[in-house]
Amino acid sequence: MTDSTSEATSEARRRDVFSRLVEVQDGGASVVESRQLIAQQFDISVDDVLTIEREGISSRWPPL
């Protein structure tokens, strides 16, 4: 796998995390709860979720 493929996969995963985060929040979970749930689902830290959330908002990723 080339570096560019790794980067694309990484961005695709971050976009998936962001999309699920928004879905969970739209479903009624609090921001804190949704971050914890998504961190568990994707086996990443809450800090990673927060970083992805900020990136998704600033980049206006769907489903925004």
Largest CA distance in the chain: 40
Give the residue numbers spanning the domain of 47.
3-59
Residue 64 belongs to some domain of the structure? no
Residue 41 belongs to some domain of the structure? yes
User: Residue 4: is its pLDDT beyond 80?
Assistant: no
The C-alpha atoms of residue 60 and residue 42 are separated, in whole angstroms, by 21
The C-alpha atoms of residue 1 and residue 36 are separated, in whole angstroms, by 31
pTM for this prediction: 0.85
Residue 54 belongs to some domain of the structure? yes
**Which helix (H) or strand (E) segment is 19 a member of?**
helix 3-26
Quote the pLDDT of residue 64.
Answer: 77
Residues 6-51: tens digit of each pLDDT: 555 699 999 999 999 999 999 999 999 999 999 999 999 999 999 9
Please answer whether residues 20 and 63 qualify as being in contact, where contact means their C-beta atoms are separated by less than 8 angstroms: no
The C-alpha atoms of residue 10 and residue 6 are separated, in whole angstroms, by 6
The structural domain count of the chain equals: 1
Quote the pLDDT of residue 8.
Answer: 57
Quote the pLDDT of residue 7.
Answer: 58
Residue 18 belongs to some domain of the structure? yes
Quote the pLDDT of residue 6.
Answer: 56
